[in-house]
Homo-oligomer: A and B are copies of this chain.
Amino acid sequence: MARIVKAPEERRAEIVDTADRLFRQHGYAKCSVEMIIREIGVAKGTFYYYFKSKPDILEAVVDKTLGQVVEMAQSVADAPALSAMQKMEALLGGSHIGNDDSLDVAEMLHLPENRELHELTNIQTVLQLSPILAQIVEQGVGEGVFDVEKPLETIQFLFTGAQFLTDGGMFGFSDAELRARRLVTQTIIEKALGAKPESFSFMNPVRAVK
């Protein structure tokens, strides 16, 4: 095959992105190195030139994903002009403007057939994102819209429940069942955070269109 030379960072990123996508599609274990390189159109050796093993690229994928999400969340949390509720909406609302790819906190990671990705990414996300959200919750407590004693742990619990329960494939829920669970999730969040009923209704927008 034609030998196409690329800048190292570009090639590396290409491999990580492709692996990311395939891992999410089929799961880490079911993705062979063969699949990844065939998809890109490079040789086996090229893969191993950039990554010393398969676990190695899993780590790279997780790092990439995590970095994006955490950075985005932190920037929202740090925004000085926004109220706690506005920040919550920005992070948890369904109306994510301009996110073409995978920068959606709410929607991320909700994919079936995952194992190592879930373990590493999903959990790490909860762990890394929770402090940021907790920080917002504390701001909300100060603003009088929330009432919680242990923001971090509470957020972690809520995050975990939401993450795993409404995870696309894990429980095999139908669309209707998923919607019911998302509604309840909203209610529980409000109660757990001591927020006003329906204050988190942005999580379940009344959609006009399909």
Contacts and interface: CB of A to CB of B under 8 A. Distances in A.
Given A184-B150, A191-B192, A165 B171 contact: no
Nearest to A119: B170
Contact of A170 (B123, B170, B187): B123
B180 A188 contact: no
User: By DSSP majority rule, is chain A's interface helix, strand, loop, or mixed?
Assistant: helix
Interface residues of A, number: 31
Contacts of A156: 165, 181, 184
Interface in A81-101: none
Contact of A157 (B149, B154, B181): B181
A114 to B, nearest CB: 9
Contacts of A29: 29, 115
A149 B186 CA distance: 13
Interface string A149-172: 110011011101111110000110
A157 B171 contact: no
A127 B171 CA distance: 8
Given A164-B164, A191-B194, 15 more contacts: A29-B29, A119-B170, A127-B171, A150-B184, A154-B184, A154-B187, A157-B161, A157-B165, A157-B181, A157-B184, A158-B161, A161-B164, A163-B164, A188-B191, A188-B192
Nearest 10 pairs between A and B by C-beta?
A161-B161, A153-B184, A160-B165, A191-B191, A115-B115, A188-B192, A157-B161, A164-B164, A160-B161, A160-B164
